[in-house]
Structure 1
Amino acid sequence: MTMAKHVNSICKSASLSFALYKIGRLRSFLDQPSTEKLVHAFITSRLDNCNSLLYGLPISEVDKLQRIQNAAARLVTRVKGRCHMKPVLRQLHWLPVKKRIIFKILLITFKAIHGLAPDYIKEIIVIRKPTRLLRSSSELLLQPPPTIALKTASYGYRSFSSAAPSLWNQLPSFIRSSQSVDQFKTSLKTHLFTLPD
């Protein structure tokens, strides 16, 4: 359940390191937008694949993936190795790995609420229906699962059924009330950039 083997396999995968190496060899012949497209196609897509499963991992595991993203950002921007990466990622408008994981969970949640996700995901999401009429009644909040349903104390909170309501209910109401997927993605990304790491 630590997902350490999975994270290590992503980091050590031949295709990922080979892609970085090959793009690095071509970098002097490419402009920045073209390099960024290659990085998204061969590296970022690999980091984002099923990354919602990595929610709640120890920082040491997420940092391994963050180092891959940092190397890709250095390749795109041609900054030196000792340069601080947070401003570089912000300049590229790339969310750090930890926030990318949160972004993916919340995007799946938004799609489930609006009927755009598969049925097995929609069944997990329960919209909170307050027993009394309160000011917050008009807000679109989710019902967290009962504590008994979270099989273990240490891993239960990492499940989608627990993480999705927790993260969704923390969002500002203007983001939760977005009318389209594109509007939601834009607002959410901006919001995540403002949060501390």
Structure 2
Amino acid sequence: MEHRFLLPVPEGEHEGTEDFSSQSQCRTRLGCWFEKTDAWLTINRVQLNIPKSTLICTYNPGKGSTSLLSAPYSLYRPSTTACNLGVIIDTHLTIEAQVMKTCRAANLHLSRINKIRRFLDFSSVKCVVNALRPQRVKNAAVRTIFNLRKRDHVSIHRQSLRWLEIAYRAKLKVACLTFRCLNGSAPPYRTDLIICNVPGRELRSAD
């Protein structure tokens, strides 16, 4: 049974090499957590697979790397990335590794589509690459559909496909969710987060 652990490290812990009190507290708490988890798993007849476990410490960029963290069974060096529920988490929480993985996978699929591009019509190619639309690979997808060169501009062609940029897609998603909350078609846990702004004086837009 494989386990992945996320241990947020307090800010400032990596500053300097003389004070290890915070690091010692982390090792102690982590060791206690391992013992309690192992005991619970033993009671429930589940074996904890220590060699396949992943430990990651998150901290601000420029604070240095983490030192070794000791556990009851072995000595752990924190990993730079950890995969949880299909999402790759890195030490700086920038999701850079996840983005790179997505781009590599999308570019691989686009490369395969390019090999059979001459056998497909426009509608077929558009349907094939319709799901490969992250911002970093969207231009490559447009070039694949219209059979453009690498240096050709794609803005006009992207607009003809009616594909929004990632930033505008996020804004559209937020606007749609807000609209549903204001009209009572959203679940209560979302509606409770919306606070209407009531101006202190009448505005022209209220007419």
Normalised by the length of structure 2, the TM-score is 0.48
Preserved CA contact (<8 Å) 1:89 1:96: no
Higher relative contact order (CA 8 A, sep 6+): 1
Alpha-carbon displacement from aligned partner over 1:7-63 (angstroms, at most 9, x marks no partner)? 223223x3x2332233222321211112111111x313xx3xxxxxxxxxxxxxxxx
Structure 2 unaligned segments of length 5 or more: list them. Answer: 1-92
1:114–1:71: structure 2 CA closer, same or farther, 3 Å change rule?
same
Matching of residue 73 in structure 1 with residue 142 in structure 2: yes
Deviation at 1:88, TM superposition (A): 1.8
**Which is greater in Rg?**
2
> C-alpha distance in 2, partners of 1:19/1:79?
17
Deviation at 1:106, TM superposition (A): 1.9
Q: 2:127 aligns with which of 37, 48, 51?
A: 37
Normalised by the length of structure 1, the TM-score is 0.50
The correspondence of residues 1-197 of structure 1 with structure 2, limited to 5 A, is 1-12=93-104, 14=105, 16-40=106-130, 42-44=131-133, 47=134, 66-137=135-206
* Structure in which a larger fraction of residues adopt strand: 2
> AA paired with 2:189?
Y
Runs of 4+ residues deviating >6 angstroms: none
Secondary structure of the 1:129 match is coil
Aligned length: 115
Deviation at 1:68, TM superposition (A): 0.3
Secondary structure of the 1:127 match is coil
> C-alpha distance in 1, partners of 2:196/2:138?
35
- The alignment's C-alpha RMSD in Å is 2.2
Identity of aligned residues (%): 32
Which residue does 1:158 correspond to in 2?
none
Structure 1 unaligned segments of length 5 or more: list them. Answer: 48-65, 139-197
> C-alpha distance in 2, partners of 1:23/1:116?
40
Preserved CA contact (<8 Å) 1:130 1:137: no
